[in-house]
Structure 1
């Protein structure tokens, strides 16, 4: 693995930015070797409460500074992200084990999210005049007030881009943020935060804490005004329950068992290339990556042959360059989960079409991209999210069977359709139960569309990040109405009786001219 451009002094400097007062530290390994890369301080519940208190004070001035100031700061941060891209790429790879190309997705996404929210926040949140219930007698406006302090809990797998997708719109809306970073992604997040601080974001306005879910995570959900979480459905449900008891809002992007439908009019070789990337980008450790492939029987043989050929000799590696197509699993826990799913499936009769082997000669958690067939409902890999280097292939006889199978899941995060027909693509897309649907692509089309909402249905979560919806979650709508004084509104029964006729005439007139 080539030497990173980052230095131990930089790592120490970054971890010093964590809000943590105690002496406890945890060793964080790098997937390239499995050895300790750096030590990370642990935040206590008191540290979290202190960070939220200081963020709350900083938020008052930040909100009052206005959209123009926030836009200037965020655009400077955007430029610093691009200037520091090599460092950010290195940190993402060192922490996650993904390839340079997949790390680049994160850096580009973080910049795009920052640019979008910097430029669009004032248009989306500037407030507006709405039609009053009593035209000319009352005027009504809607304005948006920042919620205050947003809590953001991000996972290790796409630490940089997922942080940006929650933190930046909160900042653009005038909120403060206290973020709990996963140990495996903290350096990337801290380096991103430093770019924003140097661009003009007050240090207390975006605080980063670490530590256990039981202590730091619980304390965060107990004290903030809004909570964003990306992670497992089980944890998301617990956070939603706690937020519900406190009557605060939450956006939750949770698990997925994402399907790809391959229809009978595709080019099998081209479709196989799309499937291989969609299943094994970041080694499948991506919330929107594909785990289930439903291929039409008419093209099943050539598609399967092309998929096996493409994955037969994968270019695996951890180099800080663009020489590898597939990286490593991120941790020993991820490696254990993948092998457990594979062993269970094989023991119950599944067949390995390609892959299925660890590659310890490359690194301790490297694993070949693996495609299974003959997967049945009694296997763990059938319905449970693997979140790793395994995909299952099923043969279907027609489009309807494919859609029904794709929808037969508790999850509904992302889905993909491969077809040459625009009409077919629309018909199938309309029938799929997922928060995002990609045609002739696996996930990058919707994932990169930062002006469009992203999120799941069913057990894949609630709320949306990105787009207008991603900004609006961080504000409360406030309605302000003013009586014009042109005519006194009724105050007594006699007043109501006198104005009943004019009010009814007004109501009927608005209906006749189709005015809401």
Structure 2
């Protein structure tokens, strides 16, 4: 089966068990997009569905990273000087290519991440939305803005925004397109160059996005990819970056924040989470149970905003749990390059080991398994059943630690106050979900949950997809925001240009300082009285 660059969204597998779009020619082309020497060492990745070989990619050295930054700085000057209308046009061409060639992206994401196709499609739609939003909003967000001057009429004040220079982006394996392209897009539109290190396991999707952007007209050197372990090339990225964008673990985020502080550069960090969902006593139970499926098991639970703690009002607990368990047991798990399955595979052996250890520890200490609870090697090497636990207590590892897999624990709560208190009883603060038939009540509870985003009667997509609003974490879940104006302005340096006309703050010729002070005092009192800001 050949790819005809249309919007066809299902695929077949070839002799190697890989989807149709993942051809040797495509893999070879994407490998050339890695910034590495011709004699570079190689890294091999495997396909989660089968455990078989997938990609053979060149590995970048610290010297390769430094060379990429040299090229990026040379390219960035011309890119920043390009009219924003031209940058916008390139991004909108990328938008169209993305949608027209989505079969390639879907096949790549499934092949290297193992997620179900419907979850892969959400990444395509996410990047299309974000690209269109920033392409059509950047000029207004980045354009000069008049600000109130120190002295009305006499002070002409303008706020300008200049690109940082070269932004380093470190993106994770769990959302290879959303994270692989989503943070680069606003950085590029703001006039920066980008040097990015995607996770090696899912580098193909990020390289595909870069390849598509170059096809759309992005100048050479403006966006580059390096491949390698953080322990090898992470310091080179930090040493050369003018800004750092990182998505990953809280432990790694702390180190990056420390190093960025040493260099006095900015950093935006989306880190871990132990996200809560609250089901109030007036919730629509069927709708909430459907929402819990999306909240807990999308992308096999390997989602930063996924729900791992579920607090249900006592009065509806039994009915809700029965509905949720029934739906969970009905989920179709498997490896398929079409829309026939609901849940895919975990991505790597380490994640399977973590999920297995967390569930086994909880069961050994008294937790009850209501659904799932075991790996499925009959389906593939990294499959694990969607799992619901109850009777989870503080001495169990998964009570407070992030599992990052298809596992959720259910707890009963007496009332809204207890639900809010328990939802907030964590160092994390990334995402939350609240369910109620009463919109006002649901939003009131949401406002008291200490997370960067809260969804009312939705799992996570409502807040994430509201790209005009900021998204990010509180507490141990990170610093900074993506999306909205914050998501592009963080990649800029703000500059104030104030032009003082005629009179200033010193006495004009012929007027004593004391008389001038009295004059200014009267003016200040008058401005306060008439309501001037």
Note whether the superposition's TM-score is higher than 0.5: yes
Distance 1:503 1:390, change over 3 A: same
The corresponding residue for 1:91 is 108
- RMSD, aligned CA: 1.5
Cα offset for 1:272? 1.3
Give the distance between the partners of 2:437 and 2:179, measured in 1 at CA. Answer: 32
2:21/2:108 contact within 8 Å kept: no
User: 1:462 pairs with 469, 472, 479, which one?
Assistant: 479
User: 1:275 pairs with 292, 301, 307, which one?
Assistant: 292
The corresponding residue for 2:467 is 450
Counterpart check, 1:145 vs 2:124 = no
1:113/1:164 contact within 8 Å kept: no
Give the distance between the partners of 1:60 and 1:371, measured in 2 at CA. Answer: 53
- Greater Cα offset, 268-277 or 348-357: 268-277
Q: How does 1:219-234 map to 2 (within 5 A)?
A: 219-234=236-251
Cα offset for 1:483? 2.1
1:273/1:310 contact within 8 Å kept: yes
2:180/2:205 contact within 8 Å kept: no
Q: Deviations over 1:345-401 (max 9, x none)?
A: 111111111101211111110110001111111111000000011110101111111
Give the distance between the partners of 1:480 and 1:184, measured in 2 at CA. Answer: 46
The corresponding residue for 2:451 is 434
Q: Deviations over 1:436-460 (max 9, x none)?
A: 0001111011111111111000100
1:318/1:324 contact within 8 Å kept: yes
User: 1:76 pairs with 93, 97, 108, which one?
Assistant: 93
Q: Secondary structure at the match of 1:204?
A: coil
Give the distance between the partners of 1:398 and 1:339, measured in 2 at CA. Answer: 33
Cα offset for 1:16? 1.3
The corresponding residue for 1:246 is 263
Give the distance between the partners of 1:334 and 1:168, measured in 2 at CA. Answer: 29
Q: Deviations over 1:250-293 (max 9, x none)?
A: 00000000000011112322211111221000111000010000
Give the distance between the partners of 2:218 and 2:530, measured in 1 at CA. Answer: 50
Cα offset for 1:463? 0.4
1:165/1:466 contact within 8 Å kept: no
Give the distance between the partners of 2:227 and 2:375, measured in 1 at CA. Answer: 31
Cα offset for 1:326? 0.4
Q: Secondary structure at the match of 1:26?
A: strand
Give the distance between the partners of 1:378 and 1:212, measured in 2 at CA. Answer: 34
The corresponding residue for 2:22 is 6
1:136/1:486 contact within 8 Å kept: no
Give the distance between the partners of 1:242 and 1:487, measured in 2 at CA. Answer: 42
User: 1:321 pairs with 328, 338, 354, which one?
Assistant: 338
Q: How does 1:339-488 map to 2 (within 5 A)?
A: 339-485=356-502
The corresponding residue for 1:293 is 310
Cα offset for 1:494? 6.8
Q: Deviations over 1:122-142 (max 9, x none)?
A: 101101111111223321111
Distance 1:420 1:43, change over 3 A: same
Q: Deviations over 1:409-458 (max 9, x none)?
A: 11000000011011211220111000000011110111111111110001
The corresponding residue for 2:517 is 500
Counterpart check, 1:265 vs 2:282 = yes
Counterpart check, 1:47 vs 2:59 = no
Distance 1:34 1:493, change over 3 A: farther
1:252/1:462 contact within 8 Å kept: yes
1:114/1:164 contact within 8 Å kept: no
Give the distance between the partners of 2:413 and 2:507, measured in 1 at CA. Answer: 68
Count of equivalent residues:
516
Cα offset for 1:196? 0.9
Cα offset for 1:505? 1.7
1:269/1:302 contact within 8 Å kept: no
Q: How does 1:24-35 map to 2 (within 5 A)?
A: 24-35=41-52
Give the distance between the partners of 1:448 and 1:319, measured in 2 at CA. Answer: 26
Q: Deviations over 1:125-176 (max 9, x none)?
A: 1011111112233211111111100100000000101133210000111111
Q: Secondary structure at the match of 1:150?
A: strand
TM-score with structure 1 setting the length: 0.98
Give the distance between the partners of 1:152 and 1:455, measured in 2 at CA. Answer: 16
Unmatched segments (≥5 aa) in structure 2 = 1-11, 14-18
Give the distance between the partners of 2:247 and 2:510, measured in 1 at CA. Answer: 55
The corresponding residue for 1:116 is 133
Unmatched segments (≥5 aa) in structure 1 = none
Q: Deviations over 1:78-107 (max 9, x none)?
A: 111111111111111111101110000000
Q: Secondary structure at the match of 1:425?
A: helix
2:289/2:323 contact within 8 Å kept: yes
